[in-house]
C-alpha cells in the first residue's frame, strides 16, 4: 500500500495584488505542510488573479508574475505545489500551472481548452495549448520544460486538466490515463452560478473513475475582481469516490482540503482499464522530478473529510446559495474597494430590504466563521465587543436611509425603520419633499406652465427618485461608505428604474436576480433564514405589501405590476426573449401555454410591452453599477448579455405578433 496525502486550497485572491496574493499562497502552502500534504493544487492564475482582464497583455504583468513565482518557490520545500500564472512562450501567452517541487521549478503545464462563453473572455488574452506540443522556456537562468507534460515526482505521476479542460467532451484526462497518471490536478477559477457545484462534483468524481486516478480540484473563493463570486468547494476524489469536499463560500483567505490516497489501489484500477498505453519514447512528455513524498502513518487506506455545511443537503438549497453568494460578494467588494460600510436608500419595499438584509447576513456569517475581531479587521472597521458583537458590527457597516416625499406612506416608513432596527443598522430619515418642490418650481418656470400628473407623469415620478440620490451619496462620501443600488433584474429588463435615482450606487448586488424569486426569498428569510443566521421576522412588514415605487399620489394606488405586468409573466417573457432568443410571436405562444389563466390578447399586450421596453432601455443597462453573476439569465451587458443601444425595436417582429393576434379574433 503506497499512501500519500494530497490537497487543494481555495484562495481569496485579488487581481494584481502581488504581495497579498503571494502571502496568501505561502500561508496556504504552510497550512498544507503542517498536516503532511505531499502534493498541493492551488487555483488557476492564483499568482496574478484570474480577473486581470486586458492587464494580462502587459509585459510588466507577465514579468511580475514570474518574479512572484520565484519568491514563492523557496517555500515549497518537501512538497509538490501547482501554482497558476500567465506564461509567455514564443509568440503567445498561455494560462499555465507551474509545478514546483521541493524548492525547484520542474516545469510548466498549459491549458488546452479556453473558456470563451458566458462571462469568460480567455481567448482575448490567451492561446490554447495544442495537445502534444512541448517546448523549453528560460526561467531564472535555467531551461524549464513547458507544454503538454506529465510529471513523475518521486514515483507519483501527475498530470493536469486546467479548469475548462474538464468541461469539454474530449478531456485531456483520457490521454493522461493512457500515459499512466496517478493524480490529476485541476487548478480552476470557476465562478458561482445556481446549481453549478453539482456539475463540478460530477466531473471530479466521474473523471477520477474514468481515468482511474486521484483527482484534486482547487477553486478560487470570494469576490475576486468585482462581478464574479467564486464559491471555493475544493474536492478530492479517487477511482470514482469522493474522498473530501471543502466548504463553500468561506470568508477565510484560504481553505485547505486534503485526503489520503492509495497509489497502489489506483494502479490496480488502471491495469484493468482497456486503454492503449503511450510509450515514453514516442511521447517524450515525462518530466522526472527528484522528490520523496513524506510517509502517511496510521492509515489503512484512502480517507478524507466532507467539510460541506448541512445547508448543502437541505431543502432550501437555492435560497441558501443566493444568501451566501451575494453576502460574500458584498463583503469582499466592501473590503477590496476600501470602503467603510454600506449605505442603502431604504424604501421599505422588497428590493432595498433584500439588500440591507444581505449586508447584515454578510457580517453575521463572517463573524461566525472568523470571530468578531477578525471579521472587523478584514473590513477595516473597529473591533466590536460584548455578546452582541455581530449586531454591533452590522451597525458599523450598514446605514439605512428612508427618504420621504409627499407620496410616501406610513406603511413603508414603518417597514424600513423596523427592519433597520431588527438588523441593528443605523437609521436616518431624510425629508426630500422640499427638494422635489424646488425642482418642480424651477422647471415649471422654465417651461412656462405648472406641472401636472396628467401631462408630466413620468417626469414627476422621476424627480422624486433623483432627489433622493444626492443626500445618500453625500452621506456615503462623508462616512467613506459605499452606496448600494437596489434595482433588480426584472426592472433592468424593462428599464423600470430612474437613472441617477434608484440606480445610483457603486454596486448593484441584486441586479442579477428576478423580482418574483426575490419576493419568494424574502418570505423564506422572514420565516426560516440561512443556517447559522436564522429568520428575520421584521420582514413581515415588507412582505405583506404589493411592490410599489410609491411615486404617484396615494389615491392612484400605484403598484409595479399595474405599471408593467405581473412579475411572473414579465420574468417568463424575459427568459423566452433574452435567454432563449425567441421572437415576440414565439414568446407569446409559450406564454399561452404557461399562463392559461390569462387572456391571450392580454398576454400579447404584455409581450409587446416587454420587447418595446427592452429595446428602448439598453442604455440604462449599460449604465448600471456592477452586478453579481448568479445564473445564465444575467442581463449585464459588460459580461453576459450584449444588445445594441440603438436598434429597430423589434418593429417587424411585433407586427408579426399583432397580425397573429388579429387573425384569432
Asked if residue 437 belongs to a domain, the reply is no
- What pLDDT score was predicted for residue 270? 86
Strand 150-153 to strand 142-147: parallel, antiparallel, or no bridges (unpaired)? unpaired
Residues 206 and 329 in one domain: no
Residues 362 and 261 in one domain: no
Which residues are within 8 A (CB) of 80 and not within 5 positions of it... i.e. 6 or more apart? 38, 39, 40, 99, 100, 101, 102, 106, 151, 153, 156, 158, 289, 291
Average of per-residue pLDDT values in the chain: 95
- What pLDDT score was predicted for residue 293? 85
Give the whole-angstrom CA distance, residue 574 versus residue 635.
10
Rg (CA), the chain: 28
pLDDT category of residue 339 using cuts at 50, 70 and 90: very high
**284-302: average pLDDT:** 80
Residues 231 and 367 in one domain: no
Asked if residue 456 belongs to a domain, the reply is no
Residues 363 and 488 in one domain: yes
pLDDT category of residue 427 using cuts at 50, 70 and 90: very high
* Number of neighbouring beta carbons within 10 Å of residue 253: 19
- Domain end marker among 292, 308, 324: 308
Predicted confidence (pLDDT) at residue 300 exceeds the cutoff of 70: no
Q: What is the per-residue pLDDT across 620-655, written as a single tens digit (0 to 9) for each?
A: 999 999 999 999 899 999 889 999 999 999 999 999
Q: What is the DSSP letter of 576?
A: I
CA 56 centroid distance within chain: 21
- What pLDDT score was predicted for residue 539? 98
Mean pLDDT lowest among 94-98, 140-144, 363-367, 619-623: 140-144
Q: What is the per-residue pLDDT across 511-534, written as a single tens digit (0 to 9) for each?
A: 999 999 999 999 999 999 999 999
Which residues are within 8 A (CB) of 626 and not within 5 positions of it... i.e. 6 or more apart? 226, 227, 506, 507, 508, 636, 638
Residues 139 and 268 in one domain: yes
- What pLDDT score was predicted for residue 296? 85
- What pLDDT score was predicted for residue 295? 80
Asked if residue 266 belongs to a domain, the reply is yes
Q: Output the domain CATH number for residue 19.
A: 3.60.110.10
Distances in Å between the Cα of 181 and the Cα atoms of 157, 159, 263, 277, 641 are 5, 6, 10, 11, 40
Q: What is the per-residue pLDDT across 449-459, written as a single tens digit (0 to 9) for each?
A: 999 999 999 99
pLDDT category of residue 120 using cuts at 50, 70 and 90: very high
Residues 508 and 539 in one domain: yes
Q: Output the domain CATH number for residue 423.
A: 3.40.50.620
Name which of 584, 62, 530, 145 is nearest 316 in CA terms.
530
Residues 297 and 318 in one domain: no
Strand 156-160 to strand 183-187: parallel, antiparallel, or no bridges (unpaired)? parallel
Q: What is the pTM of this model?
A: 0.95
- Domain end marker among 255, 273, 308: 308
- What pLDDT score was predicted for residue 354? 98
Q: For residues 372 and 389, is the Cβ–Cβ distance under 8 A?
A: yes
pLDDT category of residue 264 using cuts at 50, 70 and 90: very high
What is the total count of domains within the chain?
A: 3
Residues 291 and 371 in one domain: no
Percent pLDDT > 90 in the chain is: 89
Distances in Å between the Cα of 196 and the Cα atoms of 192, 305, 513, 630 are 7, 21, 16, 10
Give the whole-angstrom CA distance, residue 71 versus residue 65.
10
Strand, coil or helix: what is 649? coil
Asked if residue 90 belongs to a domain, the reply is yes
- What pLDDT score was predicted for residue 2? 87
Asked if residue 493 belongs to a domain, the reply is yes
Question: How many helices and strands in the chain, by DSSP H and E?
Answer: 24, 21
Residues 97 and 217 in one domain: yes
Domain assignment of residue 499, given as a range: 310-432+468-543
Residues 646 and 499 in one domain: no
* Number of neighbouring beta carbons within 10 Å of residue 279: 8
- What pLDDT score was predicted for residue 533? 96
Asked if residue 472 belongs to a domain, the reply is yes
3-state secondary structure labels for all residues of 143-167: EEEEECCEEEECCEEEEECCHHHHC
- Domain end marker among 543, 578, 600: 543
Percent pLDDT > 70 in the chain is: 98
Asked if residue 455 belongs to a domain, the reply is no
Residues 257 and 130 in one domain: yes
- What pLDDT score was predicted for residue 278? 66
Asked if residue 632 belongs to a domain, the reply is yes
Predicted confidence (pLDDT) at residue 475 exceeds the cutoff of 70: yes
Q: What is the per-residue pLDDT across 174-227, written as a single tens digit (0 to 9) for each?
A: 999 988 899 999 999 999 999 999 999 999 999 999 999 999 999 999 999 999
Q: What is the per-residue pLDDT across 560-612, written as a single tens digit (0 to 9) for each?
A: 899 999 999 999 999 999 999 999 999 999 999 999 999 999 999 999 999 99
Q: For residues 148 and 111, is the Cβ–Cβ distance under 8 A?
A: no
Q: Which residues sit opposite 218 in a β-bridge? A: 187
Name which of 632, 598, 339 is nearest 483 in CA terms.
339
Predicted confidence (pLDDT) at residue 51 exceeds the cutoff of 80: yes
What dihedral do alpha carbons 422, 428, 432, 434 form, nearest 10°?
130
Predicted confidence (pLDDT) at residue 101 exceeds the cutoff of 60: yes
Q: What is the per-residue pLDDT across 371-396, written as a single tens digit (0 to 9) for each?
A: 999 999 999 999 988 779 999 999 99
Predicted confidence (pLDDT) at residue 281 exceeds the cutoff of 70: no
Q: Which three cell numbers stand for residue 442?
A: 424651477
- What pLDDT score was predicted for residue 280? 58
Residues 155 and 15 in one domain: yes
Mean pLDDT lowest among 85-99, 123-137, 275-289: 275-289
Give the whole-angstrom CA distance, residue 333 versus residue 626.
10
- What pLDDT score was predicted for residue 302? 63
Amino acid at each position: 500500500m503506497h499512501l500519500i496525502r494530497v490537497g487543494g486550497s481555495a484562495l481569496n485572491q485579488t487581481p494584481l495584488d502581488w504581495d497579498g496574493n503571494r502571502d496568501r499562497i505561502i500561508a496556504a502552502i504552510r497550512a498544507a505542510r503542517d498536516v503532511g500534504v505531499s502534493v498541493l493544487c492551488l487555483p488557476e492564475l492564483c499568482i496574478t488573479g484570474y480577473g486581470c482582464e486586458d492587464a494580462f497583455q502587459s509585459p510588466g504583468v507577465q514579468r511580475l508574475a514570474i518574479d512572484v513565482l520565484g519568491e514563492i518557490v523557496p517555500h515549497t520545500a518537501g512538497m509538490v505545489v501547482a501554482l497558476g500564472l500567465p506564461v509567455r512562450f514564443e509568440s503567445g501567452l498561455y494560462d499555465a500551472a507551474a509545478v514546483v517541487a521541493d524548492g525547484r521549478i520542474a516545469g510548466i503545464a498549459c491549458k488546452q481548452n479556453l473558456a470563451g462563453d458566458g462571462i469568460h473572455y480567455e481567448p482575448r488574452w490567451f492561446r490554447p495549448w495544442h495537445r502534444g506540443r512541448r517546448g523549453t522556456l528560460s526561467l531564472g537562468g535555467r531551461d524549464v520544460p513547458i507544454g503538454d507534460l506529465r510529471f513523475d515526482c518521486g514515483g507519483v505521476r501527475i498530470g493536469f486538466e486546467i479548469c475548462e479542460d474538464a468541461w469539454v467532451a474530449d478531456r485531456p484526462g483520457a490521454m493522461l490515463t493512457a500515459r499512466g497518471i496517478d493524480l490529476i490536478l485541476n487548478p480552476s477559477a470557476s465562478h458561482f452560478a445556481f446549481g453549478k457545484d453539482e456539475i463540478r462534483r460530477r466531473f471530479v468524481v466521474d473523471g477520477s473513475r474514468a481515468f482511474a486516478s486521484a483527482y484534486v480540484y482547487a477553486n478560487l473563493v470570494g469576490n475576486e475582481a468585482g462581478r464574479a463570486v467564486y464559491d471555493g468547494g475544493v474536492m478530492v476524489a479517487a477511482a470514482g469516490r469522493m474522498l473530501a469536499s471543502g466548504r463553500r463560500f468561506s470568508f477565510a483567505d484560504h481553505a485547505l482540503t486534503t485526503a489520503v490516497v492509495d497509489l497502489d489501489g489506483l494502479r490496480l484500477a488502471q491495469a484493468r482499464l482497456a486503454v492503449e498505453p503511450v510509450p515514453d519514447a514516442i511521447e517524450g512528455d515525462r518530466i522526472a522530478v527528484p522528490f520523496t513524498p513524506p510517509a502517511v502513518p496510521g492509515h489503512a487506506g484512502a480517507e478524507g473529510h466532507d467539510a460541506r455545511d448541512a445547508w448543502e443537503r437541505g431543502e432550501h438549497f437555492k435560497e441558501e446559495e443566493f444568501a451566501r453568494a451575494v453576502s460574500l460578494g458584498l463583503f469582499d467588494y466592501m473590503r477590496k474597494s476600501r470602503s467603510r460600510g454600506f449605505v442603502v436608500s431604504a424604501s421599505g419595499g422588497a428590493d432595498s430590504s433584500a439588500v440591507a438584509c444581505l449586508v447584515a447576513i454578510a457580517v453575521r456569517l463572517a463573524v461566525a466563521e472568523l470571530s468578531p475581531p477578525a471579521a472587523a479587521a478584514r473590513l477595516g472597521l473597529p473591533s466590536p465587543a460584548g455578546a452582541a458583537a455581530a449586531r454591533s458590527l452590522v451597525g458599523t457597516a450598514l446605514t439605512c436611509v428612508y427618504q420621504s416625499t409627499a407620496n410616501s406612506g406610513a406603511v413603508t416608513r414603518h417597514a424600513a425603520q423596523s427592519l433597520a432596527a431588527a438588523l441593528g443598522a443605523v437609521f436616518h430619515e431624510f425629508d426630500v419633499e422640499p427638494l422635489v418642490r424646488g425642482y418642480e418650481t424651477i422647471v415649471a418656470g422654465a417651461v412656462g406652465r405648472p406641472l401636472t400628473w396628467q401631462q408630466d407623469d413620468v417626469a414627476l415620478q422621476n424627480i422624486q427618485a433623483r432627489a433622493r440620490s444626492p443626500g445618500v451619496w453625500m452621506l456615503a462620501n462623508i462616512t467613506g461608505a459605499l452606496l448600494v443600488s437596489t434595482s433588480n433584474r426584472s426592472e433592468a429588463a424593462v428599464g423600470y428604474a430612474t437613472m441617477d435615482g434608484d440606480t445610483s450606487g457603486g454596486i448593484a448586488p441584486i441586479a442579477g436576480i428576478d423580482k418574483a424569486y426575490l419576493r419568494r426569498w424574502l418570505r423564506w428569510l422572514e420565516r426560516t433564514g440561512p443556517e447559522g443566521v436564522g429568520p428575520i421576522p421584521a420582514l413581515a412588514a415588507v412582505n405583506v405589501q404589493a411592490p410599489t415605487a410609491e411615486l404617484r399620489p396615494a389615491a392612484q394606488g400605484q403598484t409595479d405590476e399595474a405599471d408593467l405586468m405581473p412579475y411572473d409573466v414579465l420574468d417568463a417573457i424575459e427568459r423566452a426573449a433574452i435567454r432563449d432568443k425567441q421572437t415576440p410571436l414565439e414568446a407569446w405562444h409559450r406564454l399561452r401555454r404557461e399562463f392559461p389563466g390569462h387572456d391571450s390578447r392580454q398576454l400579447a399586450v404584455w409581450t409587446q410591452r416587454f420587447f418595446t421596453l427592452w429595446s428602448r432601455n439598453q442604455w440604462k443597462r449599460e449604465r448600471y453599477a456592477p452586478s453579481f453573476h448568479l445564473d445564465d439569465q444575467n442581463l449585464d451587458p459588460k459580461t453576459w448579455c450584449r444588445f445594441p443601444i440603438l436598434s429597430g425595436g423589434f418593429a417587424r417582429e411585433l407586427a408579426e405578433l399583432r397580425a397573429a393576434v388579429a387573425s384569432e379574433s
